[in-house]
Structure 1
Amino acid sequence: MVCTGNNPRLSHITFLPMIDLNPSDMSCVYSTLKFVSKVAHDHNRTPVITFDQPLYWKALMITFGEECKNVTLRLGGFHTEMSFLGSIGRLMSGSGLKELLELIYAPNAVTHMMTGKAVSRAVRAFMLVDTALHWLITEEIFCTNQTGDEIERSEFPQTNTVLTVADQLFEKLMNKQKTVENLLNHDVVKVIEE
């Protein structure tokens, strides 16, 4: 009732035959694309092949031709991340980001991070920079000069800051001293909304 035609067998995973060629050779990449394209055509499917960065570029040049145009190429996940991190480093060159990161990491490591080669270090470093920038922007917007620990529970809160007033309003809301409708009309909420 579910299947039309013959019932397919259980699916299984098998290794395809090894290609005894240098993987960086264009003829190796071409023969791989042709073989996968033929097998996919036999099964009436669109072939999707994942390559690492150097082979992806060669395969992309080959698929511009007519014979392998039906092949969909993908860059592997790790190399996609490397490419993305390298593009950040390229876009931010000359912005002072490299010099900032050299305060934490060795200059040679920063060079690798900015080109996307040291992936885990680059991700951590860019997250640190992102957190620092968000903190500076928050400090500028809400006119506070306190550190993160002081904002959480300060013994002497600054009474004129937007965050302090917003914290007091939140406490009143949680203690049911004010309603949501009253808070929405408050000046501090309008400042935060802007």
Structure 2
Amino acid sequence: MINELILAASEEGGEHEPPNPLLPQWYDIIWSLVAFAVVLFVFWKYVIPMYQKVLDERRNTIEGGIERAEAAQAEANAQLAAYREQLAGAREEAAAIREEARTQGGQIIADMKAQATTESDRIIANGSAQLDAQRQQVVSELRGDLGRMSIDLAEKLVGSSLTDEAQQAGTVDRFLAELDTVGNESAK
């Protein structure tokens, strides 16, 4: 049918002009428009909605990902703030524990010093008492020895026996008293 139309059109014109290579024939334009309309209809009806659906899904996925990322960021920031608060609390608690340990250490040192002083005083008192007891013992032993020696010496000097105990005790006491006064005068 198209061919018949083309032949009829070329016969009517009589003289036939050569076709312009830049301008297509009218039937080419019509068929091109029909094909373009069909392709446009198919794109408009099927391809563009599917493409729009894919773009919407992608946009929703991206927006959902952004929202999830923002939520995760907010949660991470909240956890970081909580961690920092816990860390600050732990530091304060550690400082309090260190201060309490220092206080207890000072108290222990003071108690140990007091205990050492008490023990030292007790040891000094025991030593002093023991020293006094030993001195008393030595003095009494020396008095006894010195008394016997002085009696022996006095017997040799006097030439008589000093067997009377009262007389011996008086002689020993007098001799020791003289020794104490001589010792005190030489100490001055």
TM-score of Structure 1 vs Structure 2, range by shorter chain: under 0.3
- The two structures have a TM-score, normalised by structure 1, of 0.21
* Structure ranking higher in strand proportion: 1
Q: Which of structures 1 and 2 has the larger relative contact order (alpha carbons within 8 angstroms, sep 6+)?
A: 1
Q: Give the greater-gyration-radius structure (CA).
A: 2
* Structure ranking higher in helix proportion: 2
